[in-house]
Every structure is written in structure tokens, then in C-alpha cells.
Amino acid sequence: MTTTNPEPSALSAPPTAQISPVAWAKRNLFSDWSNTILTVVCLGAIAWLAYGLLNWIFTQAQWQVISANLRLFFVGRYPAQLMWRPWTVLGIIALSAGLTWGILARSTWLFNQTGLVVLGVIAAICVALAVPVSLNTSLLLLAILGVSVAAAFAGQRIGQRFPTLVSWLPLIWLGIFFVVFGLIRGGLFLQEVRLDDLSGLLLTLLTAIVSIVLSFPLGVLLALGRQSNLPVVRWMSIGFIEIIRGLPLITILFMSSLLVPLVLPPNVRIDRVVRAIAGLTLFSAAYLAENVRGGLQSIPRGQSEAAKALGLSAPLVTVLIILPQALKAVIPTIVGQFISLFKDTSLLAIVGFAELLGISQSILSNPNFLGRYQEVYAFDTVIYFCCCYAMALASRRLERQLGTGQR
Amino acid sequence: MTQAQTDTIQPEVSSEKVIIARDVEKWYDNNFHVLRGVSLTVNKGEVVVVMGPSGSGKSTFIRTFNALESYQKGSIEIDGIKLSHDLKNIETIRREVGMVFQQFNLFPHLTVLKNVTLSPIWVRRWPKAKAEEVALQLLERVGILEQAHKFPGQLSGGQQQRVAIARALAMQPKIMLFDEPTSALDPEMVREVLDVMRTLANSGMTMVCVTHEVGFAREVADRVVLMDSGVLVEEATPEEFFQNPKEERTQKFLSQIL
């Protein structure tokens, strides 16, 4: 090879800067004396905090309060003889999640670095549970995890064979939701469990998911109503949104649990949970409507003009052209809204529900575990974080999925 | 458009009137009198170029033809149907009138092919296979068949505008409106769009174009009209309009752009 004719790849490749960790640290952490002081102080503070935390976790904290009450935390007072139903639900969700993951990642690597780390952490937790809970539970959880991973591989194959399946995923998940709900609730040939008897994380998830699923279409309708040409629809939407936004969520929940039964005729009884879900849904829908409206307004006027000029009727213009673009633009805010709705379900503890936070309080009032606040609330924190982080990851995935053909 | 028309090279302008606008007047919300009694008649197969300084109301005027702009006085008749406020009536007229915009206005969330097939499928209720067949023919005609499965954002401005023309033609309109179709394009892309418009004009399509392209107007137009301050100032054949304008306003306008 001559010097005048270098390899094309050498020409076009961007310059890569490979530096050793020591050089990196020197350049970024210890470049001059003020940075060095900052680095040392910060490292010291981090080490001190980490030592305190680890010391508390491993020597001071008494975790029996968690391990003895794990079932209460997760499924609350769900009848013991019906425990197979929550387990089946977990299995169904793990299976569907694995399949979905595989279908979405049909043309890429199934597990990237982050995926492997998350999977490893979950597996480690499953194994670790063998000590405080039972070997059987641990093995069952590992089996469900295995099902999920196997489903991911199967999903990849299925996704490659039927690429159009992706657009059906939301509908499929809606179907799964009804199956899961039916399993938890019972009815038909299964023994029925009253909604008001649900508690623990199960109740948290139920109220959050149902409110999310219901508030989404309601919020979109309110956003469209607010922009409607019909004055009655527009003023009612604005009125609803502004009234709900002017109230704290906790007052809405109090009204739904205390005021509604007083107003209704005595022979009409609505489950407390249903009333609470209605309150959460209305509250979330009002905020969602404003987020969606922001998305609607971000679509240039030319889009609807072009669609109208093609002869599309106003509803078709909205459904085919405006909404898909508007919703895509506001996915991050909508997911943020859903995450905060999930955390807002903890307010239900104040109006007397035994959801995750409520059941924690009743566990704390058990004389055997008096004063174990730190352990219980630390545990709740981890659970809330895991759920919210999962939603954030799903949203990122969704954005990437819909990101094709960005302008 | 029928096969016979497509094959004709020198189309005959029939005396059938497809656009009759009489004394159209429009005020914007802030009482700005943008159209002050504009009348224009367009015959079938005719190409009319509308020129004029910016703010003269020329875009507003052609946008009243498919009811993208409302007007307060006068009357507009498109292909024998009187334009009214009735939604059904407006949608019927929009089906017969294709429009191409300055900013292309392609739907960014749909592929090129779906942009073109959208309204035949949803408005004309064609089966998907037929709509795609017609769409692919049109895309070939405007020279972007290879891009059919890309998204608009992946195309150049000129390509996007040609897709927009194909999208409007997919509804098989009787009339095409062009609202400054080349004004947002880089200079080297203007020609590819004008070429498509020229072919379309030669195929016998009735066209009303708002444009500043003098060459296009000279070569393709049957009539050129000048609008200024909401009034139609002069209406003439291209030769007369560019060589021998009658009105002083036209002479001044031409001295500025030529």
C-alpha cells in the first residue's frame, strides 16, 4: 500500500480518543489544586454516606418486619386458599412482558448491557429471597423469570415472522388486562373476591393501572372538547378541567369516599375502591387533557389544512393526522403524569385504604414490630421506585419505537 | 382524468367554466379588507397564473376555492356546485379540488406511500390495493417511485413537493390549486417541481397557480392575472401581460420582478 492511497476507512473514521482511567481521572478530577480539593471532599462525603447506609442495612436494621410480612405487603389480605391466582397473574404478566420485549426487539439484540444488568439484579433478588422467605417461593420466582426470558426469545421469532403484530400490542395488552382483572376479582366459575377486600401492592397496582387506562381516553376527549367549535362542549370541558385542577387530590378522594355515599340513594352502593378509582381518574384526566392540548397546539396549522384540502372530514383529520402526531410529541409528559398518578395512589392510605402505604401502617401498628418505621418505609421506597423506573424504561422504549421517520 | 386527455399534447381549452368566482369579498377578524370584490372565471383545461406582490390577497383568494378561507360576500361555483357553508357541500368540493402548498404539508408520521393513499382510502373508500396501485403510478409519474417507503423527513424539499403533488392527484381532482409551490425550495430544486407542473398542464388539467415563476407563466399559462391590495388589476394572455401590460400597476410590478 502506498502512502498516497490510505485505506478509505482510515480516512472516514472519526478520530477516537482512547485514554486510560488514570489519565482520565487526572484530567477530569485532579486537574488543579481546587479541583483536587473538591474531588477529595466529595469522595469523602460519598464514602461517609455509603458507610452509614450500608452499616444500617447490614447491622442495625431488623428486616424480620419485612420478611415476616412479605405476603401482606404484596397481596395484602387476599384469601390464602386463593393465592394461586396472584401467582398465575404474575406468570401471565411475565410471559406477556417477555413476548412483548422479544417482538419489539425483533431486529436487534435481545439483551443489551442495561437489560442484562436489570435481569441479573432481578435474578439475584429471587435467589436471595430463599433465605428469609422459603426455597419454594424463590424457585417459583426463578421459574417465572425463566418463562419470561424464554418468552422473549420466542417473541423475537414471532416478531420476525409477523412484523405487523407490533401495532396490535396495545390492544393485546388491554385484553391481558381484562384477563388479569378477572382472575384477581373472580366471578363466573371462580370464587369472587370483593374489590373492597383487596389490599397491599395489589390494590396499589389495581387502582393505578385502572385509573391510567381510563384517564387516558378521557383526557384526550377533554383536550379535544376544549378545542371544539361547539360552545357547550368547549365550556363544559374548560369548566371540568379548571374545577378539578383547582382542587387538591386529597379533597377529591375525601369527597369520593365520604360525600358520594351521602348523596346517593341508600339502596345504591358503589364499592369504595370504585369510587376512589373514579376520583383518581377524573383528577388525572384533567391534567392529561392539558398535556394533550399542548401537543395538539404544537402541530402546525398546515397539517390540518392539507388534510382538509384532501377532502377528509373533521373527525378523520383529528384521528388520522393531528392526534397521532400530538400524542407522540407528549409521550414524555404523559408518562410523567402516569408516574405521578401511580405515586398519588399512596394518598388512598389517608382515606382509609390498605394499599401499600396503608398496609405498611397497619403492619407498624402490630405490637411485634413497633417502631420499625425505617425498615418498612425503606422497603416501600424501593417498591415505589422499581415500579416508577419500570414505567420510565417502558416510555423510553415506546419513544424509540415511535421515533421512526421523525422530521 | 381520462387516457385521451393524458395523451393530448396541446390540450384544447373548452368553454366549460369550472371555476366561477363573482365579486368575492373577505374581511379578516381585525376588519382588514383583504379581498375587495374579486371575480375570476376559469375554463376547463385552462392554466391561470396569479401574480402580485405579497399581501395582495392572491393566496387568500385561491384558498377560498376549496373553503380553506371563508368569504363574506360574493359567490363561488366550482364545477357547477355552489360553495356554501354546509360541511357536506364543502367536502364534496374539496374532493374535486387538489391543493399544493408552499410548505408541502406532508404528514410526517406517514410514509410517502401512505401520504398518497390516505385520502383515496378514507374519502373515496377505495380498497387498499387499488389505492396503492394508483399511488405508485403517480409516484412514478413525478419521479420518486424509489422513495415510496421512506418518510417525508428523509426527502429533499423538491422531492417532498413532488410527493405533495402526487398526493393531491391521487384523489383524481378536476382542478389543481398551487399556492406558491416553489417559494420554499432551494433554487436547484425549483426546476424539478416546475417540470412536473408543466407535464400536468400539458395533460389538460385545470390549474390555478399562485407563483412568481415568470418563465413558467410565460410558457404554460393560458392567462395571467395580477392582484394588488385585494383587487384583480389586470387579466391578459401571457404575451400581452409581459410584453404589453395595459395597467400602470402591472408595469410597475413587472419592472420590479423582471
Note whether A303 contacts B68, CB cutoff 8 Å. no
Domain membership flag for residue A65: no
- Among the listed ranges A24-38, A147-161, A202-216, B7-21, which one has the minimum average pLDDT value? B7-21
Res. A191: pLDDT tops 90: no
Contact list in A for residue B113 (CB cut-off 8 A) is none
Res. B85: pLDDT tops 60: yes
Total number of domains in chain A: 1
Note whether B101 contacts A305, CB cutoff 8 Å. yes
Contact list in A for residue B123 (CB cut-off 8 A) is 310-312, 316
Note whether B99 contacts A303, CB cutoff 8 Å. no
ipTM, two decimals = 0.90
Higher pLDDT, A50 or B8: A50
Res A285: pLDDT: 96
Residue in A306, A320, A324 closest to B105 by CB: A306
Angstrom distance (rounded) from CA A271 to CA A252: 16
Res. A11: pLDDT tops 80: no
Note whether A308 contacts B94, CB cutoff 8 Å. yes
Angstrom distance (rounded) from CA A406 to CA A75: 43
State what percent of residues in chain B have pLDDT above 70: 95
Res A111: pLDDT: 74
CA distance B120 to chain A (A): 9
Number of H helices, E strands in chain B: 10, 10
Res B146: pLDDT: 93
| String of DSSP letters for A297-329 | HTS-HHHHHHHHHTT--HHHIIIIIIHHHHHHH
The predicted-structure confidence for A260-308, as pLDDT tens digits, reads as follows 888 888 887 888 899 999 999 999 999 999 999 999 999 999 999 999 9
Domain membership flag for residue A166: no
- Among the listed ranges A37-41, A129-133, B138-142, which one has the minimum average pLDDT value? A129-133
Res B4: pLDDT: 44
- pLDDT category at A2 given cuts 50, 70, 90 is very low
Contact list in A for residue B97 (CB cut-off 8 A) is 309
Note whether A406 contacts B94, CB cutoff 8 Å. no
What burial letters (b/e) apply to A161-190, b meaning 16+ CB within 10 Å? Answer: eeeebeeeeeeeeeebeeebeebbbeeeee
Q: Would you state the cell numbers that stand for residue B225, as one nine-digit string?
A: 392575472
Res. A381: pLDDT tops 70: yes
Note whether A311 contacts B119, CB cutoff 8 Å. yes
Contact call for residues A67 and A125 (beta carbons, < 8 A): no
Res. A20: pLDDT tops 90: no
Res. B89: pLDDT tops 70: yes
**A interface with B, Cβ–Cβ below 8 Å:** 300, 302-303, 305-314, 316, 320-321, 324-325, 328, 404-407
Please tell me which residue of chain B has the smallest CA distance to A326.
B109
Query: 3-class DSSP state for residue A3?
Result: coil
Please tell me which residue of chain A has the smallest CA distance to B103.
A302
CA distance B208 to chain A (A): 15
Q: Report the amino acid identity of residue B77.
A: E
Contact call for residues A288 and A247 (beta carbons, < 8 A): no
Domain membership flag for residue A225: no
The predicted-structure confidence for A63-119, as pLDDT tens digits, reads as follows 888 888 888 888 888 888 888 888 999 999 999 988 888 888 777 777 777 778 888
Please tell me which residue of chain B has the smallest CA distance to A301.
B105
Average pLDDT of A113-135? 82
Other CB atoms closer than 10 Å to residue B93's CB: what's the count?
22
Angstrom distance (rounded) from CA A126 to CA A94: 14
Helix axes of B112-122 and B157-169: crossing angle, nearest 10 degrees:
20
Secondary structure of A165-229 as H, E, C letters: HHHHHHHHHHHHHHHHHHHHHCECCECCCCHHHCCHHHHHHHHHHHHHHHHHHHHHHHHHHHCCC
CA distance B153 to chain A (A): 4
Domain membership flag for residue A276: no
Res A19: pLDDT: 78
Angstrom distance (rounded) from CA A242 to CA A62: 47
Note whether A309 contacts B152, CB cutoff 8 Å. no
CA distance to A95, A100, A110, A332, per residue, from A168 (Å): 17, 11, 20, 22
CA distance to A58, A208, A342, A343, per residue, from A205 (Å): 30, 5, 8, 10
Nearest one of B193, B183, B185 to B163, comparing CA atoms: B193
Highest mean pLDDT among A67-76, A353-362, A397-406: A353-362
The predicted-structure confidence for A306-332, as pLDDT tens digits, reads as follows 999 999 999 999 999 999 999 988 988
CB-based contact, B111 to chain A, within 8 Å: yes
Domain that holds residue A41: 23-60
Res A51: pLDDT: 95
Contact list in B for residue A328 (CB cut-off 8 A) is 109
Average pLDDT of B163-192? 94
Q: In what helix (H) or strand (E) does residue B43 lie, and over which residues does it extend?
A: strand B33-43
| String of DSSP letters for A66-85 | HHHTHHHHHHTT--GGGTHH
Note whether A306 contacts B68, CB cutoff 8 Å. no
The predicted-structure confidence for A244-269, as pLDDT tens digits, reads as follows 999 999 999 999 888 888 888 888 78
Note whether B168 contacts A310, CB cutoff 8 Å. yes
End-to-end alpha carbon distance in chain A: 43
The predicted-structure confidence for B202-246, as pLDDT tens digits, reads as follows 999 999 999 999 999 999 999 999 999 999 999 999 999 999 999
Domain membership flag for residue A271: no
Contact list in B for residue A312 (CB cut-off 8 A) is 118-119, 122-123
Residue in B97, B103, B119 closest to A312 by CB: B119
Please provide the average confidence, as pLDDT, over all residues in chain A: 87
Contact list in A for residue B107 (CB cut-off 8 A) is 303, 306-307, 321, 325
* Chains A & B: contacts with CB separation below 8 Å: 73
Average pLDDT of B163-168? 96
Res B110: pLDDT: 93
Contact list in B for residue A301 (CB cut-off 8 A) is none
State what percent of residues in chain A have pLDDT above 70: 95
CA distance to A89, A152, A253, A393, per residue, from A103 (Å): 21, 8, 39, 16
Highest mean pLDDT among A23-27, A102-106, A133-137, B146-150: B146-150
CA distance A230 to chain B (A): 15
Q: Report the amino acid identity of residue B60.
A: T
| String of DSSP letters for B159-225 | HHHHHHHHHHHTT--SEEEEESTTTTS-HHHHHHHHHHHHHHHHTT-EEEEE---HHHHHHH-SEEE
Note whether A308 contacts B68, CB cutoff 8 Å. yes
Nearest one of A132, A137, A118, A127 to A75, comparing CA atoms: A137
Res B133: pLDDT: 96
Contact call for residues B242 and B254 (beta carbons, < 8 A): yes
Angstrom distance (rounded) from CA B35 to CA B49: 18
Res A302: pLDDT: 95
- Tell which of A167, A301, A310, A402 to mutate to test the B interface (max B CBs under 10 Å): A310
Angstrom distance (rounded) from CA A51 to CA B67: 72
Res. A371: pLDDT tops 60: yes
Res. A6: pLDDT tops 70: no
Contact call for residues A166 and A104 (beta carbons, < 8 A): yes
Domain membership flag for residue A44: yes
CA distance B246 to chain A (A): 36
Angstrom distance (rounded) from CA B121 to CA B112: 15
Note whether A321 contacts B167, CB cutoff 8 Å. no
Which residue matches cell numbers 426487539? Answer: A105
C-alpha torsion angle, residues A305, A311, A317, A320 (rounded to 10): -120
Note whether A406 contacts B108, CB cutoff 8 Å. yes
Note whether B94 contacts A310, CB cutoff 8 Å. yes
Domain membership flag for residue A83: no
Res. B5: pLDDT tops 50: no
Please tell me which residue of chain B has the smallest CA distance to A316.
B122
Which residue matches cell numbers 376549496? Answer: B66
Instruction: Quote the pTM value.
Output: 0.83
Nearest one of B45, B147, B254, A148 to B236, comparing CA atoms: B254
Nearest one of A247, A403, A310 to B166, comparing CA atoms: A310
Res. B87: pLDDT tops 90: no
Residue in B109, B111, B123 closest to A310 by CB: B123
Average pLDDT of B170-191? 94
Res B7: pLDDT: 44
Please provide the average confidence, as pLDDT, over all residues in chain B: 91
Res B2: pLDDT: 44
- pLDDT category at A8 given cuts 50, 70, 90 is low
Domain membership flag for residue A38: yes
